[in-house]
Structure 1
Amino acid sequence: MVTSVDVPRLVIAAPSSGSGKTTVATGLMAAFAERGLAVSPHKAGPDYIDPGYHALATGRPGRNLDAFMCGPELVAPLFAHGSAGCDLAVVEGVMGLYDGAAGRGELASTAQVAKLLRAPVVLVVDASSQSRSVAALAHGFASFDPQVRLGGVILNKVGSDRHEVMLREALEEAGMPVLGVLRRAPQVATPSRHLGLVPVAERRADALASVAALAEQVRSGCDLEALLALARTAPPLHCEPWSPVPWPQQSRPARERRPVVAVAGGPAFTFSYAEHAELLTAAGAEVVTFDPLRDEALPEGTGGLVIGGGFPEVYAPELSANEPLRRAVAAFAEAGGPVAAECAGLLYLARSLDGKPMCGVLDADARMTERLTLGYRDAVAVSDSVLAANGTRLRGHEFHRTVVEPGAGAVPAWGFTHPERRVEGFVAGGVHASYLHTHWAAQPSVAGRFTQAAADWAAGAVRALGASATAAASAGPVAGTAARAVSPAVQAAGSAGAAGR
């Protein structure tokens, strides 16, 4: 049902990466939340890490708005879903304001997201090496696309009072409002590594301190009243809010057979979109999180296993040392349990990672490299799996500095059609493992298909365990011992299926 979404909103953009978007967006979210406003945090593009800081700042899940992976038509509905009941929404942009998917025009750019949301844009400018030229820069960004409404500028990394005066005079001459001035403040810089900022889950105490410092910096340097007034100029959006329940109710597993889907979490596996768990739950799953660094067994009754992205290469020794869980994962996969592994999950299922033993589910080895693999991908499923039927088309992205050898199994997961043609990933039994990150909101049937596979497998495992026990009891003590020793994987599967009864 189409509704009117009247949430005040701002898009925080920049001329280029590294200008300070995350500093300003996170600081604004925290500063407004401290005022008692319910702030809805969003991130344009596929990034997983920034939304973690947004969540700390607001107390609400950080959500992505990616026009490439989900399609432009879902940007406003996903925004409406995430911002329901909020007083304000802040959207952090990606790269430069007009930068999007390579060779696709404005697709997936911050500018496109701003237009789809009919939201005013605040441009964060690194002013450290310019003075009057800042006016020409702001004028160029404001006039490049008349449909993008640039509401003002926040000047970042300003060096002195005199520097600020020169910048303000130039922007006033150009008729561009200055909504904030931030001085150089390295003490609030957030630590980074080879793929960007360090995720919140790895440094929660430090991250809380960083967010508090960002809020103070923004509060003291920005005109919050003017920014809130600008946000309130955004007109109502008319769209149908996205819902995680388009999956036909009749196809959901019966409640008495509601399968447990175990989702890897903790410091090593931090990459996940909030909508994935919502879709699994709506499809009938009971979603339970576990930490492969600390937990020595899968959650009781596991019927499906989801291992998303993160930084397993940083924690390879600890993951390898948790041998009981590695064995449990291998047994679950060997018994045919549904497993969806994405990027970091792919590495964890490999035989080894940088020489450290992993789960050994895949006949492949992984290692760190100097080369960054980054970019959007058009993909088609080249085989049936627990995630997708052969021929299913999805868009996703790759983002890693590792390589898996071989790069594809005898039965690959995906065929990439753009920007390069190749096959990638592994499908074997109930396992689907790939480097490709996908956003299931674009294809809700993925969650439904996986949940159904988990329910079917859990029920089958319970029946197999029951049949094995019955045969053992009727055959006597010797045969019973043999039946109990049939396969550790089958016994593990029976345990995993207990909750599916």
Structure 2
Amino acid sequence: MTDPTTPWALPRLVVAASASGHGKTTVATGLLAALRRRGLTVSPHKVGPDYIDPGYHALAAGRAGRNLDPFLVGADRIAPLLRHGASVPTPADVAVVEGVMGLHDGAVGRGDFASTAHVARLIDAPVLLVLDTTAQGRSAAALTLGMAAFDPTVRIGGVILNRVGSPRHETLLRDALAEVGVPVLGAVTRAAEVAAPARHLGLVPVTERAPESLAIVAALADLVESTVDLDAVLDLARTAAPLRVPAWDPVAAVGGPAGGDRPLVAVAGGPAFTFSYAETTELLTAAGADVVTVDPLRDPALPAGTRAVIVGGGFPEAYAEALAGNATLRAELAAFDGPIVAECAGLLYLGRSLDGAAMCGRLDLTARMTGRLTLGYREAVAAADSPVARAGDAVRGHEFHRTTTDPGHGEQPAWRWNGAAHGFVAGRVHASYLHTHWAGHPSAARRLVEACR
């Protein structure tokens, strides 16, 4: 373990693109897996609130994929969180950070705040730009030059050509990029591309299709090994300046463990509830809890001694009938007298029904799929005291769903934002569509542990 307070020359780079869908996840996941094959310890990270890409990263790297989102946790925590993630369980040899959307695309109305470029500056890392070269020739060089000149504080250290049509096309592209002085570190042809299956909210999470996901990650590693100059990528990563900020510390964030015994907190997992941040468990543990996973698809009961339950996001709509079939766990959650915290999928699961399938009935609501995507960052204020917030507490979160509930909020809502009420606080239950990152408000972990007592 490195000293968390001294400068650390951690090799690192950011994988970016000019827009979504240009191959960032393909390249980032393949790099992680290929570098791991070389015997390197690789730390995987993702810009933004995405839950699914970090799952593929974790599979490729063999350690937790972690998010770096200035909107959710604050800009001052980004470099400390990177250092923490690259330090546990063992120090990494290199960190790979996958960007979000286009390089300079930030939170709506906030310039480049929370963009890939913003995070690259915060962690002082070079950028490896993935170029979708479909129907492009020399213009790819102009695009690269423009991306670099748009913000000279962001250093584009090389490019990966993606979706190259032919050897002649590749030569044209390499010659053009040589004219502007940007090195080409790899070229992926259209025929060689590997893709993971998608769903209405993005890629299918790895836990839902483990054997297929392993095969996809292996194929991505093969792809990168055969098309990318890994030595040049590592040389680029080594140009990053030493990290001079201390590592984020979950114990310090929660103020140390609360007094008393160690309550057991059950966190929903399995294929239906895949959305979680690694720091949530770390904060709960630091606050004095023991954390265990429960799979609502398969486990007939909560673990013995459970004092609180967290049901996060995921795809319950894809498993509604199977969730309905686990009637014993649904009944236990309906009667559970400890704190329950639910986000998005958890909100749906606690309701009476989802697309007609019976759910837990803990909350008096029905839910259904719609054709409308609700997506975006939110600045919320707690509307009531609950197991994770005091009335008036301000938090930042994000929404990402295609479902709706009836009613849209309870008599006592969980949050308010944009002048409207959202979510439900009912007894010791706190449930809403809002996804939050507890590293941004670690008091939630301590408050939940204290609520167990």
Q: Which amino acid aligns with 1:367?
A: R
**Which residue does 1:55 correspond to in 2?**
58
Residue type matched to 1:132 in 2? R
State the 4+ residue runs in structure 1 displaced beyond 3 angstroms.
none
Note if 1:82 corresponds to 2:82: no
1:406 corresponds to which residue? 407
Q: Which residue number corresponds to residue 398 of structure 2?
A: 397
| CA contact 2:6–2:246 (8 Å) conserved in 1 | yes
Residue 167 and residue 186 in structure 1: after superposition, are their counterparts in 2 closer, same or farther (change >3 A)?
closer
Structure 1 residues 338-385: Cα deviation after superposition (integer angstroms, max 9, x where no partner): 000000000000111001110011111100000000000001101100
1:362 is matched with which residue? 363
Distance 1:153 1:10 in 2: 12
The amino acid of 1:318's aligned partner reads A
Alpha-carbon separation, structure 2, partners of 1:188 and 1:248 = 45
CA-CA distance at 1:187 after TM superposition: 6.4
User: Take 1:429 and 1:200, find their aligned partners in 2: how far apart are those partners?
Assistant: 35
State the distance in 2 between where 1:288 and 1:154 align: 41
* 1:183-237, Cα deviation, whole Å (9 max, x unpaired): 1146621000000000000001000000000011011101111110000000012
Q: Which sections of structure 2, spanning at least 5 residues, go unmatched?
A: none
Q: Which whole-Å CA distance do the structure 1 matches of 2:296 and 2:369 have between them?
A: 20
Partner of residue 72 from structure 2, selected from 44, 69, 74: 69
**1:107-127 CA deviation, whole Å, 9 max, x = no partner?**
110000000011000110110
Specify the SS of the correspondent of 1:252.
coil
Question: Is 1:442 aligned with 2:449?
Answer: no
Aligned match of 1:483: none
Partner of 1:316: 320
1:312 Cα deviation (Å)? 0.2
Q: Number of residue pairs matched?
A: 446
Aligned to 1:267: 271
Q: d(CA) in 2 for partners of 1:402 and 1:140?
A: 39
Partners of 1:3 and 1:330 in 2: how far apart?
49
8 Å contact from structure 1 (residues 8, 232) kept in 2: yes
Query: Is the CA contact 1:75–1:113 (under 8 Å) kept in the aligned structure 2?
Result: yes
SS across alignment from 1:89: strand
TM-score by length of 1: 0.88
In structure 2, what is the equivalent of residue 15 of structure 1?
A: 18
What is the match of residue 478 of structure 1? none
In the TM superposition, what are the counterparts of 1:154-193 in structure 2 within 5 Å?
154-185=160-191, 188-193=194-199
The structure that has the greater radius of gyration is: 1
Following superposition, the deviation at residue 129 of structure 1 comes to 1.4
- Relative distance call for 1:183 and 1:71 in structure 2 (3 A) is same
Q: Which amino acid aligns with 1:183?
A: T
Compared with structure 1, are the counterparts of its residues 340 and 186 closer, same or farther at alpha carbon in structure 2 (3 Å cutoff)? farther
The sequence identity of aligned pairs, in percent, is 64
Aligned pairs for 1:334-373 within 5 A:
335=337, 337-373=338-374
TM-score for both structures, normalised by structure 2: 0.97
Relative to structure 1, is the Cα distance of residues 236 and 20 closer, same or farther in structure 2, using a 3 angstrom cutoff? same
The 3 A distance-change label for structure 1 pair 113 and 187 is closer
In 2, distance between residues paired with 1:207 and 1:248? Answer: 39
SS in 2 for 1:130: coil
Alpha-carbon distance in structure 2 between the residues aligned to 1:384 and 1:50 = 34
Whether the aligned pair in 1 keeps the contact of 2:399 and 2:433 (CA below 8 Å) is yes
Separation in 2 of the partners of 1:226 and 1:298?
Answer: 50
SS of equivalent to 1:154: strand
* Partner SS, residue 396 of structure 1: strand
* 1:405 shift after superposition: 1.1
**Aligned partner of residue 399 in structure 1, secondary structure:** strand
Residue aligning to 1:433: 431
Counterpart for residue 462 of structure 1: none
1:115 lines up with 2:121 in the alignment: yes
Shift of 1:176: 1.2
User: Given residue 248 of structure 1, which amino acid in structure 2 is its aligned partner?
Assistant: G
- Give, in whole Å, the separation in 2 of the partners of 1:102 and 1:238: 30
Residue equivalent to 1:479:
none
Structure 1 unaligned segments of length 5 or more: list them.
457-501
Deviations for 1:13-63, whole angstroms, at most 9, x for unmatched residues? 000000000000000000000000000000000000000000010101000
Structure 2 counterpart of 1:421, from 419, 422, 428: 419
